[in-house]
């Protein structure tokens, strides 16, 4: 494979469409992608933490009921 000596557009891994010219303004789509990934990661982490909390609560309740027997 021989590389070409031409400028090429950068492509994001996620395909989106904006109402701006991406050739002129690259910062807004980049910020939008990064902020979306941060929010998505935060939601995923919070959901998993809540699941772990519920499981620990269930284990604690079962330990309490075994203690009284």
DSSP string, 7-29: ------SS----SS-TTT--HHH
Per-residue model confidence as pLDDT tens digits over 13-65: 777 777 777 677 778 878 888 999 999 999 999 999 999 999 999 999 998 88
Q: CB under 8 Å to 13, separation ≥6 — which residues? A: none
- Give CA–CA dist 47/10, Å, rounded: 33
69 pLDDT above the threshold of 60: no
Structure tokens at 4: 């070409």
Residue-level pLDDT at 28: 82
Residue-level pLDDT at 67: 66
Write down the pTM of the prediction.
Answer: 0.62
Query: How many residues appear in the chain?
Result: 69
Decide if 59 contacts 52 (C-beta within 8 A).
no
């Amino acid at each position: 494979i021989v590389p070409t000596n031409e400028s090429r557009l950068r492509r994001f891994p996620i395909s989106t469409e904006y109402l701006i010219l991406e050739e002129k303004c690259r910062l807004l789509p980049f910020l939008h992608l990064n902020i979306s990934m941060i929010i998505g990661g935060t939601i995923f982490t919070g959901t998993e933490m809540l699941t772990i909390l519920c499981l620990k609560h269930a284990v604690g309740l079962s330990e309490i009921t075994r203690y009284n027997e």
